[in-house]
Amino acid sequence: MTQTATLARRDGPIEGGGLTKAGLDHTRDQLVLLENFVKQVLKKDQDYGVIPGTNGKPTLLKPGAANIVAAFNCHVEPTVDESTVDPVGSFVSYEVHVDIVSNQTGAIMARGFAQANSYEDKWRYRNASPKCPECGKETVIKGKTEYGGGFLCWKKKGGCGAKFPDDLPAITEQVTGKVENDNPLALANTIKKIAIKRATTDAALQLPGVARFFTQDFDDQSGHEEEADGDSQDAPPSRPQARPAAHADNVGAVLMWALQEHHLSKDQAFALLGVTSGNQVRDLAAARQTIADKVAEANAKVQNGKGGA
């Protein structure tokens, strides 16, 4: 028999709220169930990963988030809040939220926010290999000395098999290595999926007790995200134009922080910043500070009002 940990969300004040022995016993039992599930079912490097060089909590990965959602007898419902697919500037951005919904009651158990965009390094840049002067494919490799050296368009990588001398300018003068991606629009579907995955992980961490065991890496998603697989969109390639600095960061992280630290919704956070969308946020650090300052100012007014009553 499978045991699941469930917790219904209620809106508004709860009659008879407060600590009770029955409530504490129930919470303890739920946490014990979750701890057993984490130790006995979830697997390292599959459901969660440990970032090298850190001593913090393990990072929750996509399969682990899905398993936790299932253990709570829930499912996820993603919603795209805002999207930008700009062919002129070759820029893609998705802001999403994901609700974790109880299979039994339909109640929203948790909500996570996230954003992904084509200005993140993993999609803004790619690793370019030398192109073959004959077939135009990036399949040129350095030939082995024992076979005469030079360059070879390797057939095993889909090349044409042509051979070239070591000093051929058409190869040696090419720009290779880390170069700017000339067609990020082809990754739009992948970027949307990553935003949803991040929001799902964030939502899973909001479920009771989960954050006790895991965290989420907001900087580079721990390097565990799936590689960009692209989709079949046809888009004219062009070099990306300059974008506000916040697009290179995770605007969704500001929303998560505002929700967790100050219990603000997305609309409330944007209202404090005087914007209507994440694309208008130009400085991530300044946005956090503005929200913190305005919340502190509002709290001070409330306290002063009570003192003068």
Sign of CA dihedral 272, 278, 282, 287: positive
- Decide which of 91 and 223 is more confident: 91
Q: What φ, ψ does residue 292 adopt, rounded to 5°?
A: -60, -45
Mean pLDDT score, 227-233: 39
Mean pLDDT score, 134-161: 86
Domain locations along the chain: 29-124+183-241, 130-175, 244-309
pLDDT tens digits for range 40-74: 999 998 999 887 765 678 999 999 999 999 999 99
Tell me the C-alpha distance between 220 and 105, whole Å. Answer: 35
Tell me the C-alpha distance between 157 and 153, whole Å. Answer: 8
- Coarse DSSP helix, strand, coil percentages of the chain, rounded to the nearest 5 percent: 40, 20, 40
DSSP state of 208: T
Q: Which pTM was predicted?
A: 0.59
Q: What φ, ψ does residue 91 adopt, rounded to 5°?
A: -130, 135
Structure tokens at 14: 């709860």
